[in-house]
Structure 1
Amino acid sequence: MSKIIKTLLATFTLAILANFSYADDNYYDQALKKFDKKNYDEAKFLLERNIVFNPKDAKSYLYLAKIFKEKENKKEEEKNLNTTLLLDPSNEDATLRLMDIAVENSNYSEVKELSEKFVKICKSLCK
């Protein structure tokens, strides 16, 4: 009897984990589709749901930053870009966007620091 209960419990646990894994990909993919259609509010909601299930997904934070850029919310844009770089320090797009913000804010010491970092990590955007 206990073997049956253990087997059922293990099966149930695996089913739940598989469902969460599918939901993560599904939320992110749906968010990208909404973002491409410029439906930023729904994309933001889906990205935030994806972050709940996968808090270390740097791509979700990067797209949230892009949404906040479109909505002209510099504070949230910068916060999400910094989170992206915290999770993925070699993210070229986030580094470049932070450099743009630093230039707008006339923070040239930060621009210099980020540009030195950018030269080291740049692979796809520098070709």
Structure 2
Amino acid sequence: MNSVLAENTFFDKGKIKYDKKKYEESKFLFQRSIVFNPKDQNSYLYLAKIYNYEENKEEEEKNINTVLLLDPKNEEANYLLIEIELKKSNYSKVKELTENFSKICDKLCDKKTAILESLKNLEPKNES
């Protein structure tokens, strides 16, 4: 019980700092939350967002993949991974992720249209 309480406290405090754009402080708190609960997908998700802000693509992707390992249907993490793959112009991966995203989207379904438009722009020209 004690470690769950501590983990929730670190996450909650981290979220407050994150909302105030105090990313260094929130990063530390999310990392502490993970120490107490290594399966805290929300902390990994927020760490990914912080790494995105810091333009640390490697750490961002690593944290998103951890979220998806813990919860393959995490809608926001799936969307963030699609954005990463779009930036890499990885057509086949974006197509695969978009098909999965269509099955799980709930709150972010409106983003699917934008993803599909981006996918059209990436479509390989000489595949027929």
Band the TM-score falls in, shorter-chain normalisation:
0.7 to 0.9
| Structure 2 Cα separation of the partners of residues 109 and 59 of structure 1 | 28
Amino acid at match of 2:67: T
Residue of structure 2 aligned with 1:102, choices 85, 89, 104: 85
Shift, 1:126, TM fit: 1.8
More helix by proportion, 1 or 2?
Answer: 1
Residues in 2 aligned to 1:106 and 1:25: alpha-carbon distance in whole angstroms: 37
RMSD: 1.0
In percent, how many aligned pairs have the same letter?
57
**Structure 1 unmatched ranges of 5 or more:** 1-17
The answer as to whether partners of 2:34 and 2:40 remain within 8 angstroms in 1 is: yes
Q: Deviations over 1:70-113 (max 9, x none)?
A: 10101110110011001011011111111111011011111011
Q: What stretches of structure 2 of length at least 5 have no aligned partner?
A: 111-128
> Of residues 25, 28, 38 in structure 2, which corresponds to 1:45?
28
Q: Does 1:59 align with 2:42?
A: yes
Number of the residue aligned with 1:10? none
Structure 2 counterpart of 1:126: 109
Amino acid of the structure 1 residue aligned with 2:64: L
- Which entry has the higher C-alpha Rg, 1 or 2? 1
Partner of 1:115: 98
* Alignment TM-score, normalising by the size of structure 2: 0.83
Code of the residue aligned with 2:59 in structure 1: it is E
Q: In the alignment, does 2:70 pair up with 1:87?
A: yes
Structure 1 position 22, deviation (Å): 1.6
Aligned structure 1 segments of 4 or more residues deviating by more than 4 angstroms: none
If the length of structure 1 is used for normalisation, what is the TM-score? 0.83
